[in-house]
Structure formats: structure tokens, C-alpha cells
Amino acid sequence: MSILFKRVFWVVCWAILAVVSQFVYAESTCPDGLENTIPDEDLVEYEGGEILHVPSNLVFMRCTIGQQWDGDTCIGDAEPYSWQQALALSVGYQFNEKNSWRLPNVKELAVIVERACVRPSISEDSFPKTPADDFWTSTPSMLDEQRAWSLTFTNGSSAIKAKDRDIFVRLVRTRLPNEPIE
């Protein structure tokens, strides 16, 4: 290969990387005139980076695994994991002095999808800096033992993915009876 070809190749690669990185944490697109599918009153903020989805009684981490809640937003970089790593990570995971965290199943993770928005299709006020990308669920594929269900916050759709792929993780727990709803 010629030196010119190599230089052009690397310039194009860096340009593509720059464009793609803008979409990972880009501001979502929510067309005017569409009402949010998750009303504000359905999401109750808890201290320490947790948020309750009232209709499902599920408490989600506001940040993707790898990020930290600073009291205002999620900081740091989301870390991708294989499905087995995501399952193992969730067992006994300690966050806010609770260890009842788990990998949500596909139906549980879908309750926080904001269908009126894309890239990401999630409330950015409640779940800031969520990558507009795939997230693991605990739901295995019934047709292929090498695959499991994921949900993408690009557009809120779900699909089965190879379990050895590295994709993002958000953990969930069920609200305890002694925890306030508001």
C-alpha cells in the first residue's frame, strides 16, 4: 500500500470515529407535538443515583455501569460487558448500601424506554448520559443458547445478540415495602 493510501485510510477512520462518538452521548431527538410516553409523575428520583418507576415498582440505577452519579448527572464512561459478565456483575452488586440489584429482564428494561424520543430513547433528565446503544437484559434466547435479549436505547427496540458481545448494563431492583414512593 502506498503511503498516501495509508494516510487517507487513517484520516477517514478518525473522521468516522469522531462522528460516531458524537452520537454515543448526543442529545436525544424528540419530535415536536409528540407527548412523552412516560409521564414525569411515573419517575420518582431517589437520592444517590436511583430512580423509581412507579407503575412497575422497579428502582433503576440512573447511570450506566461504569459511570458514577455525582448528585447532578452521570460522569465517567459507560463500560460494556459480555452477557455472562453482566450476570456475574449483578450478583451481590453493592450500590447505595443495597445488594438486591440484578440485571433486568427484557420487559423490565422496556418500562423506561421513552418512545417519543430517539438517540437515546430514554428520559435524559432521569437517566443522563445514557449511551444510545444496546443494553443487556437477563432474558436468554429460547431459540439459540449462544444469544440473549438486549434492548437498544437508540430507538427502544429489542433484539437477540450473541452473549459474547460487549454491550452496556443498567441494573434494577424491586422497591422495598419500607421505601417511600415519593
**pLDDT tens, 151-182?**
999 999 999 999 999 999 999 999 988 888 86
Q: Is residue 179 part of a domain?
A: no
**pLDDT tens, 93-132?**
999 999 999 999 999 999 999 998 888 999 999 999 999 9
Domain span including residue 168:
3-174
Q: Is residue 157 part of a domain?
A: yes
Q: Is residue 77 part of a domain?
A: yes
Q: Is residue 118 part of a domain?
A: yes
109 SS3 class: helix
Q: How confident is the model at residue 22 (pLDDT cuts 50, 70, 90)?
A: very low
pTM: 0.82
Q: Is residue 124 part of a domain?
A: yes
Domain count, the chain: 1
Q: Is residue 149 part of a domain?
A: yes
Beta strands in 30-133 (DSSP E): 43-46, 50-53, 58-61, 68-69, 74-75
Q: Is residue 55 part of a domain?
A: yes
Q: Is residue 180 part of a domain?
A: no
Please state, as a whole number, how many other Cβ atoms lie within 10 Å of the Cβ of residue 58.
18
